[in-house]
Amino acid sequence: MKARRPTFSFEDAQAFWVPEMPAYGHNLNGGSLTLPYLEPYLIQVLKQARDRLQESNPDLVRDIDVFSRQEANHFRAHAAYNRVLRRQYEGIEEFEAEIRADFESFLEDRSLEWNLAYCDGFESIGLISGELFFGPMAGVLETADPQVRGLWEWHLAEEIEHRNVCHDVLKALYPGWRTRISGFRYARHHLQGFGNRVMRHLLAQDEAAGRLPKDRRSRLRRRLVAARAAAFALPRNLWVLAPGYGPARRVEGPTVEAGLARSEV
């Protein structure tokens, strides 16, 4: 595990970046808006946990350090991309202010246990998003904007690579199943709700601008890909709920390894 820092030029990037499946692209756009606030929050929470693990678990402390460097690189790249979103769509700043306030209040008002469970929940979602990206969504991404696709390819490959760090930290400090499950459920509800609202907001502007492909063939293809993605994600979401869940047991696979290799600079 290591931190990579590929460079991106978003000068000509399109925020309408998955023309074959605009809703999927906009869902990730919603995710991108959270990251300049969510990933610094992860780093802060793990910093508090790190102090408690310093003596007892030096290997995990090393993992936390690499994890934090990866997340710091991610949110800076997403902050640069989010400027494209702000340029090309209206009403982005309100969403950013909302999510920023959420993470500020989590840090201020919630316990380390609650925050670590949220972080683990987010990382479980990130792993499934990564597997979807490199799995059933690979076809619709072939025609996607190459810079934005490259951003997510690097980010999600590293999410898969560091998939077990938050889980191991939570297990080391607060091993209860109920804590982990409530963190996962809260994070899912919070982030999916936000992502879906951003998606609808962006799609409405695409609709008004006449950008959405409406022919029968593309509608059918979108429905098929969405059904495949849902069937792929369901057992993975259920597995997170199992008491024996362990993300370290997931294999990275050749497409993820290729994504990591392309991100080496």
Half-sphere exposure in the Cβ direction for 75 (13 Å, CA): 15
Nearer to Fe ion, 53 or 125 (CB): 125
Q: Which two tokens stand for residue 111?
A: 């316990």
In the complex, minimum distance from the CB of residue 252 to Fe ion, in angstroms, rounded to a whole number? 14
Q: Which two tokens stand for residue 182?
A: 């409530």
120 near Fe ion, judged by CB under 5 A = no
Taking the C-alpha atoms of residue 215 and residue 144, their distance in angstroms, rounded to an integer, is 19
Nearer to Fe ion, 4 or 222 (CB): 4
Nearer to Fe ion, 120 or 159 (CB): 159
Nearer to Fe ion, 38 or 201 (CB): 38
Length of the chain: 265
Residue nearest to Fe ion (CB): 74
Q: Which two tokens stand for residue 234?
A: 């369901």
Collect all residues with Cβ–Cβ distance below 8 Å to 155 and sequence separation of at least 6.
74, 77, 78
Helix, strand, or coil (residue 5): coil
Taking the C-alpha atoms of residue 120 and residue 165, their distance in angstroms, rounded to an integer, is 8
Query: 113, 91, 92: which is closest to 36 by C-alpha?
Result: 92
Nearer to Fe ion, 22 or 40 (CB): 40
The DSSP code for 90 is S
In the complex, minimum distance from the CB of residue 17 to Fe ion, in angstroms, rounded to a whole number? 18
In the complex, minimum distance from the CB of residue 119 to Fe ion, in angstroms, rounded to a whole number? 9
Query: Which of the ranges 53-61, 68-76, 112-120, 214-222 carries the binding residues for Fe ion, by CB under 5 A?
Result: 68-76
Collect all residues with Cβ–Cβ distance below 8 Å to 130 and sequence separation of at least 6.
156, 157, 159, 160, 256
78 near Fe ion, judged by CB under 5 A = no
Q: Using the rule CB under 5 A, which residue among 159, 167, 201, 259 binds Fe ion?
A: 159
In the complex, minimum distance from the CB of residue 223 to Fe ion, in angstroms, rounded to a whole number? 30
74 near Fe ion, judged by CB under 5 A = yes
Nearer to Fe ion, 25 or 121 (CB): 121
In the complex, minimum distance from the CB of residue 159 to Fe ion, in angstroms, rounded to a whole number? 5
Where on the chain is the footprint of Fe ion (CB under 5 A)?
A: 71, 74, 159
